Amino acid sequence: METVAHLNGHTNGTARQAATERSSDPIRIAYLVSRYPAVSHTFILREVQRLRSANFEIHVASINPPDRAASVMTAEERDEAAATFYVKREGVRGAILAHTAVLMSSPRTYFSGLAFALKLGGTDLRRLVLSFCYFVEAVILGRWMEARGLRHLHVHFANAAATVGLIARRTFPIEFSLTVHGPDEFYDVAGLRLAEKMAGASFACCIGQFARSQLMKLSSPLEWGKFEIGPLGVDPQFFTPRPFRTAPDSFELLCVGRLVPSKGQYILLAAMSRLVKSYPKIRLRLVGDGPDREGLERAIAANDLGRYVTLEGSVNQDEIRAYYRQADIFVLPSFAEGIPVVLMEAMAMEIPCVSTFVAGIPELIRNEVDGILVSPSDDRALAGAIKRLIEEPDLRRRLGEAGRRRVVEKYDLDRNITHLAEIFADRIGGHRRPAQGFLQLDSSLSI
């Protein structure tokens, strides 16, 4: 079995020691996700796969079924779906069986968990109903964990699934941790009970300093030692440089992301309206799907952009590289982000990127060094940045090459999974005491 120290071809003392101690007794973790597999969360699947290769025993549960039919999933996704426990698929019968078993075996903790869930709901009737539903799901989840002897639950995103996880922690003898991405989790701190989740978690992995800072804002400094930096990453051996085109006949722009307001696709269309006047051969592909699709289609028609903009729909991970290979410039004009994996993918393929000064993006892209950043909502500045890249092939090449170096140095998937494996070994495996205080900074993650 491959150890964490071998994931990126090098070893260090901590990883070697942790891997040796785990070699015959893997750390067993239940992962909980709202929906798995999902086309926009392929990074979770990659994380699970690599942790398993590092001698972790990962069991995945999902509240909801996959976002696509099996016939349109990748082979890897189909395998994951077949092995995943789906909470809602248990139905009424499964819920009754789980609740009856827990009520009979441990009535005190059952009612303690119920009381905690209802307390989370407060006095709002809708929230009370939701909290009761989360309790129903938490008991199903907890029984599934009990049957497998799992004692630690890790949740991706501090959303409703994390609420289920928090209630499960209060109902069963398990520990609970989570990975916080942002920024969506920070918009409704009270409604998502983020402070309670931080208090109830044994630790939290933050994908960057921005996410960590937001958790610090709502938590006591006494809890800041719980917050680990665990960056995401991509495989630079999978996302390899595409051929550079000095003077393409048609400039290909690419934007990958869900069609939702936070991604700023309307601003990109406004920028396109400016650009097509000077560059009639420019083309934009929007890859992704979501609730804004119809509105974007109307905006494209209203601004006579039908010849220039194509909505490609959702694309699986095994198909996305074909779109990256065609791109001369990658654009992500987001209003809100964590640290987008799609930017890492584009940068790894040496595509010069234009994005915005929001949330965690400047942790990934240093303006004029690894890409170009503009103010969010400023379509004039966005068009200007794209215009610069169109007219300056040397700048395109320099930023593309620098972007790949940035990913290889700081966002290599195997290196960052090695770091995550060490966090789990420390925090769950007990190979050292959890960090105390709030100035436990990891020099290996410095810029």
Q: Where are the domains of the chain?
A: 4-233+413-445, 252-410
**Is residue 18 within 8 Å of residue 421, measured between CB atoms?**
yes
Q: What is the pLDDT of residues 194-218, one digit of tens each?
A: 999 999 999 999 999 999 999 999 9
CATH topology for 4-233+413-445?
Answer: Rossmann fold (3.40.50)
- In CATH, which superfamily holds the domain spanning 252-410? Glycogen Phosphorylase B; (3.40.50.2000)
pLDDT at 91: 97
pTM, two decimal places: 0.89
What tens digit of pLDDT does each residue of 211-261 get? 999 999 999 999 999 999 999 999 999 999 999 999 999 999 999 999 999
Distance, CA of 3 to CA of 218 (rounded, Å): 36
Q: Rg for the chain (alpha carbons), in Å?
A: 23
Per-residue pLDDT tens digits for 96-153: 999 999 999 999 999 999 999 999 999 899 999 999 999 999 999 999 999 999 999 9
Q: What is the pLDDT of residue 141?
A: 98
**Contacts for 202 with CB less than 8 Å, ≥ 6 apart:** 175, 176, 177, 226, 427, 434
Predicted pLDDT at 159: 93
* Strand 353-356 versus strand 372-374 pairing type: parallel
* Mean local confidence (pLDDT), 310-330: 95
What does the pLDDT read at residue 438?
Answer: 45
Task: For residue 346, give the nearest of 223, 253, 269 by alpha carbon.
Answer: 253
Q: 339-374 b/e with 16+ CB inside 10 Å = b?
A: bbbbbbbbbbbbbbbbbbebbbbbbbbeeeebbbbb
Alpha-carbon separation of residue 17 from 196, 422, 426 (angstroms): 34, 10, 11
Give the relative orientation of helices 107-121 and 160-171 as an angle to the nearest 10 degrees. Answer: 150
